[in-house]
Amino acid sequence: MTRVLVAGSTGNVGSHLVRELRSRGAEVHTAAEDMHRVDRVYVCAADGPEKVARETAVIDAAAEAGVERVVKLSAMHADPASPLPAYRWHGEIEDHLRKAEVPAVVLRPAFFMTNLLMVAEGVAQSGMLPAPTAGRRIAMIDVRDVAACAAAAILDEGHEGQTYDLTGPSGVTFADVAAAIADATGRPVRSLDLTEEQARPRFEGAGLPGWLATQLAGVFGVIRAGGFERVTGHVEALTGRPARDIGAFARDHAAAFS
Ligand SMILES: NC(=O)c1ccc[n+]([C@@H]2O[C@H](COP(=O)([O-])OP(=O)(O)OC[C@H]3O[C@@H](n4cnc5c(N)ncnc54)[C@H](OP(=O)(O)O)[C@@H]3O)[C@@H](O)[C@H]2O)c1
């Protein structure tokens, strides 16, 4: 039985990953102190100023313990030179992982569909879905598919040394998202395209930590530049089944938008 440390087991992806690994017969550990009793390691700390220190400590401990493989949840556009804090932190951690003496797989998902849950209450109240996307498509991905890919990268062979960009099955606009939510809830929902100037106070005035306001505004800048339009087939290649689409996500979360 493969023994897996899930460092980040309570996260959006991590909680699904624990179920996925157990359903595939793995022995799951969630305490970093168990490092010497595991074969493979998943690493994902929450975004924030402690992220690089927390994840590099797990990577160093994994290398020291001689584990067979580390799977890192990163992000599309990870780059140590990125002006977006989370993409920069991921880039720095990926660099650290490349230099560590441990076989590794890096997963770089696109925009999570679960980000939409942050505005679900507003959609329910107003029937409006405002966002500064300039009508661009986003190949958004369901975190359940990210977790299934992580389980495959951890348990299956042939992935070591790979970096996979993970996307949903197609690019969708926020108008498509609004239509999917309307179908799922039976209530009218309209998307509203904001300009960058209209959106800025929503990020800056929301009481968020500075790095998070910068990250969110920056992500929409990447969207407006078409940076999330590309669709990859890696979810199906890794898991053997097609990625979930926005319709499935909206149906499964209809209550949150109602
Ligand atoms: N949102 C997106 O569109 C998107 C897209 C691509 C990549 N990503 C990346 O995905 C990662 C996030 O994945 P996720 O959503 O599965 O993880 P998450 O929910 O942020 O949690 C990851 C782990 O961080 C710890 N944690 C959670 N909340 C915390 C808090 N408030 N303070 C301190 N620690 C906390 C927990 O670890 P312990 O249980 O060990 O304490 C948790 O298991 C980020 O690195 C992000 O950059 C996100």
Query: What's the rounded Cα separation, in Å, for the pair 247 and 125?
Result: 21
Q: What is the pLDDT of residue 27?
A: 98
Digit-coded pLDDT (tens) for 130-170: 999 999 999 999 999 999 999 999 999 999 999 999 999 99
Q: Where does the pLDDT of residue 205 fall: very low under 50, low under 70, confident under 90, or very high at 90 and above?
A: confident
Going from the Cα of 73 to the center of ligand 1, the distance in angstroms, rounded, reads 9
For 87-93, what is the mean pLDDT? 98
Torsion of CA 84, 196, 120, 136, to 10 degrees: -80
**Residue 6 scores a pLDDT above 90:** yes
Going from the Cα of 11 to the center of ligand 1, the distance in angstroms, rounded, reads 5
Going from the Cα of 187 to the center of ligand 1, the distance in angstroms, rounded, reads 32
Residue with the nearest Cα to atom 36 of ligand 1?
8
94-102 long-range contacts, Cβ below 8 Å, gap at least 24? 94/163, 96/52, 96/55, 96/56, 96/59, 97/59, 97/70, 97/72, 100/59, 100/60, 100/62, 100/63, 100/70, 101/63, 102/59, 102/62, 102/63, 102/67, 102/69, 102/70
Residue with the nearest Cα to atom 37 of ligand 1?
8
**Residue 206 scores a pLDDT above 90:** no
CATH at 204: 3.40.50.720
Q: Where does the pLDDT of residue 32 fall: very low under 50, low under 70, confident under 90, or very high at 90 and above?
A: confident
Q: What is the pLDDT of residue 255?
A: 98
User: Closest Cα partner for 243 from 129, 149, 160?
Assistant: 149
For 72-81, what is the mean pLDDT? 98
List residues near ligand 1 (CB under 6 A). 7-14, 44-47, 73, 75, 86, 109, 111-112, 115
Residue with the nearest Cα to atom 35 of ligand 1?
46
Query: What's the rounded Cα separation, in Å, for the pair 258 and 121?
Result: 8
Going from the Cα of 250 to the center of ligand 1, the distance in angstroms, rounded, reads 22
Going from the Cα of 14 to the center of ligand 1, the distance in angstroms, rounded, reads 8
Query: What's the rounded Cα separation, in Å, for the pair 87 and 71?
Result: 17
Count Cβ neighbours within 10 Å for each residue of 21-59 and write b for 16 or more, e otherwise: beeeebebbeebeebeebbbbbbbbebeeebbebbbebb
Query: What is the domain count for the chain?
Result: 1
In this structure, are residues 74 and 98 in contact, taking their beta carbons and an 8 Å threshold? no
For 196-201, what is the mean pLDDT? 91
Going from the Cα of 113 to the center of ligand 1, the distance in angstroms, rounded, reads 14
- Which residues form the domain of 145? 3-257
Residue with the nearest Cα to atom 43 of ligand 1?
8
User: Closest Cα partner for 25 from 6, 1, 42, 41?
Assistant: 1
Q: What is the pLDDT of residue 34?
A: 81
Percent of the chain at pLDDT above 90?
Answer: 95
- Determine whether 204 is exposed, middle or buried from the number of CB atoms within 10 Å of its CB (0-12, 13-18, 19+): middle
Mutate to test the pocket of ligand 1, among 28, 112, 114, 164 (most ligand atoms within 8 A of CB): 112
Q: Where does the pLDDT of residue 68 fall: very low under 50, low under 70, confident under 90, or very high at 90 and above?
A: very high
Query: What's the rounded Cα separation, in Å, for the pair 107 and 115?
Result: 18
Digit-coded pLDDT (tens) for 186-197: 999 999 999 999
Please give the number of the atom of ligand 1 that sits closest to the Cα of 140.
3
Query: Which residue has 């580390």 as its token pair?
Result: 70
Q: What is the pLDDT of residue 159?
A: 98
**Residue 226 scores a pLDDT above 90:** yes
